[in-house]
Amino acid sequence: MDKKIGVGLAGFGTVGAGVYRHLLSARDVLRRRIGVEFEVRRVAVRDVSKPREVSGDLLTGRASDLIEDPEIGVVVELIGGMTTARELIEGALRAGKIVVTGNKALLAEHGEALFGLAEECGVPIFYEAAVAGGIPIIKSVREAFVANRFESMHGILNGTSNYILSRMAEAGIGYQEALDEASALGYAEADPTLDVNGWDAAHKAIILAALAYGFWIPPSDVLVRGIDTVTREDVCFAAELGYCIKLLATIKAGADGIEVRVCPTLIPSRHVLASVGGVFNAIAVHGDIVGETLFYGRGAGQDPTSSSVLGDLAEAAAALQGAPRNCGFIRHELYGKALPVGAAISKFYLRLAVEDRPGVLAQVAGIFGEAGIGISSVIQPETTAEGPVPLILMIHDAVTHVFEAACGRVAALEAVKDAPVALHVEAFAP
Ligand SMILES: NC(=O)c1ccc[n+]([C@@H]2O[C@H](COP(=O)([O-])OP(=O)(O)OC[C@H]3O[C@@H](n4cnc5c(N)ncnc54)[C@H](OP(=O)(O)O)[C@@H]3O)[C@@H](O)[C@H]2O)c1
C-alpha cells in the first residue's frame, strides 16, 4: 500500500500552480518510483476569491492553517517575499514539518537563522528550486560532490539578464531595446529591477557559496553590479578582444578567503559558458576530485521550477520514512571567511573616453604603473568623429581597491571625458 503524505502548499502563483498540476500529472510516476502518494490538503493564497484550478475547499487566506493541520507533513513555501514566508517556514519547522521552498531571497538574507532553527528542530529545509530553476545543482553540490573541495563555481544564474546580453551581442542592439524585447516575450517581470541589477543572481550565488564553503556570506561582502550600464559599444569592443559579456556569478576560494561577486564580466568567447544564450542558465563547478563539470538548463519558469520542487518533495517523503537526513545545510570551518569586496584580485576591462591628442595614453599608463598595475593590451579604434575617442585597456591581475583608486586618478585627468567604464574579466583557470 502506498504511503500518503499530506502537503500544505503556500502560494498558487507561477510555481505553486505548476507544482499542484504536476503533482496530479506525475501521480502514477511518483507512486511507482517512490511508493508515495502526495495529498495536497491546504493551499494558502493572498486572495481566496480569485478563480483558480483548485477546489475552493482547499483554499485558505491564512498561511498558518498549514501549520495547524496535523495531517500535513511537508509545507511547500512558494509565496516569496520575507515576512509571511519567514513566519510560515519558522512555524512549520517548530511544528516538526519538513519545509520545501524556492525563496532564494529569504535564504540568502536569513539562511543562517533558518538553518539554525532547522537544526534545533531536527527538521530539514529543501530548496532546489531556489537556485537555477530546473537544474539540480543543490543536490549535486550537497550529495554527489560531497567529497570535493570546491575551487570555484561560475554561474549564469539569471535568464532575463542573459537574454538581454545575448541579444545585444547577436543583434547589435542596445540595452533598452533588448530589455523591451525580453518584456514583450514574457522573459522579464513587469518590474525587472532584481533581475537586471544583479541581486536575483547574487541571492543564488550566496546559497551556492554557503553550500560549497560551509558558511553564510553576508550580502554586504558580495560585490553586486547590474547589466543596465553595459553598452552596445562595450559588447562590440569585448568581441574584438575575443570575449563576450555575461552577468557572471563568480564564487572562488582563494588563499585569503572566499570571494563572491556577481557582475557583468568579460569571459573568453571560446569558454563553454560563452555559448549559453537566451534565457538559459549554466553553472560550471570545479571540484578538486571531480575536476570541471557543467550544468545547463532552464533557470526559471513554471515547469522547470516545479520539477525541482517535486524532487524535493520526494526527498521529504524519504526523510519522513526514516531516511538519514541533515537539516539541508551543514556548517563547517574548512575554508575560513569571506574576502572583503575590495580585496579580491581580478583582471579588468577599462573603457575611457579621451581627447584625441598625443601623450594621453602615456599619462594613463603612468598612473597604472605607479599603482603597480600592468596593462596587457590597448585598443584605440580609428575614428573620424569630432570629440572624445574611446581608449580600451585590458588590465592584468590587480587588487580591486587599488585598481579602483587608480581609475579615480585616471578619471580626474583633464584629457579624460566621461566616467570610466570598468568591467571584470574572468580568464578561468588554465
Ligand atoms: N517564477 C519562477 O520561475 C521562479 C523560479 C524559481 C524560484 N521562484 C521562487 O518561487 C517563489 C514563488 O514565485 P512565483 O513566481 O510563483 O510567485 P507568484 O506568481 O507571484 O505567486 C505568489 C503566490 O503567493 C501567494 N501569496 C502572496 N502573499 C501571500 C500571503 N501573505 N499569504 C498567502 N499567500 C500569499 C499569492 O497569492 P494570490 O494568488 O492570491 O496573489 C500567489 O499565489 C518565490 O520565492 C520565487 O523567488 C520562482
Report the separation in Å between the CA atom of 85 and the middle of ligand 1, taken as the mean of its atom positions: 10
Catalytic residue selected from 104, 204, 252, 347: 204
Q: Which of 43, 47, 53, 79 for mutating ligand 1's site (highest number of atoms within 8 Å of CB)?
A: 79
**CB under 6 Å to ligand 1: residues?**
10-16, 44-47, 50, 63, 78-80, 84, 102-104, 129, 133, 300-301, 305
Report the separation in Å between the CA atom of 77 and the middle of ligand 1, taken as the mean of its atom positions: 8
Catalytic residue at 204? yes
Separate counts of helices (H) and strands (E) for the chain: 14, 16
Closest residue CA from atom 30 of ligand 1:
46
424 forms bridges with which residues in the sheet?
265, 348
Q: Which of 14, 83, 160, 303 for mutating ligand 1's site (highest number of atoms within 8 Å of CB)?
A: 14
pLDDT at 430: 67
Closest residue CA from atom 44 of ligand 1:
80
Q: What is the end-to-end Cα distance of the chain in Å, rounded? A: 55
Surface-to-core class of residue 151, CB atoms within 10 Å of its CB (0-12 exposed, 13-18 middle, 19+ buried): middle
Phi, psi of 208 (to 5 degrees): -60, -40
332-365 residues labelled b (16+ CB within 10 A) or e (exposed): eeebeebbebebbbbbbbbbbbbeeeeebbeebb
Residues of the chain with pLDDT under 50: none
Alpha helices in 7-158 (DSSP H): 14-25, 27-34, 64-68, 83-94, 104-121, 137-139
Grid coordinates belonging to 250: 563568480
Q: How many CB atoms lie within 10 A of CB 25?
A: 10
pLDDT, one tens digit per residue, over 90-149 is 999 999 999 999 999 999 999 999 999 999 999 999 999 999 999 999 999 999 999 999
pLDDT at 334: 82
Report the separation in Å between the CA atom of 130 and the middle of ligand 1, taken as the mean of its atom positions: 12
Report the separation in Å between the CA atom of 228 and the middle of ligand 1, taken as the mean of its atom positions: 26
Q: Which residues contact 87 (CB under 8 A, 6 or more apart)?
A: 63, 64
- Report which DSSP code applies to 142: I
Task: Give how far Cα 144 sits from Cα of 10, 117, 141, 214, 341, Å.
Answer: 30, 25, 6, 16, 30
Closest residue CA from atom 41 of ligand 1:
46
Question: Cβ(108)–Cβ(219) under 8 Å?
Answer: yes
Predicted TM-score (pTM) of this structure: 0.96
Report the separation in Å between the CA atom of 183 and the middle of ligand 1, taken as the mean of its atom positions: 19
Residue that is written with C-alpha cell 532546489 in the block? 128
Q: Which atom of ligand 1 is nearest to the CA of 84?
A: 31
pLDDT at 1: 60
Grid coordinates belonging to 420: 570610466
- Report which DSSP code applies to 274: G
pLDDT at 330: 86
Q: Which of 9, 15, 88 for mutating ligand 1's site (highest number of atoms within 8 Å of CB)?
A: 15
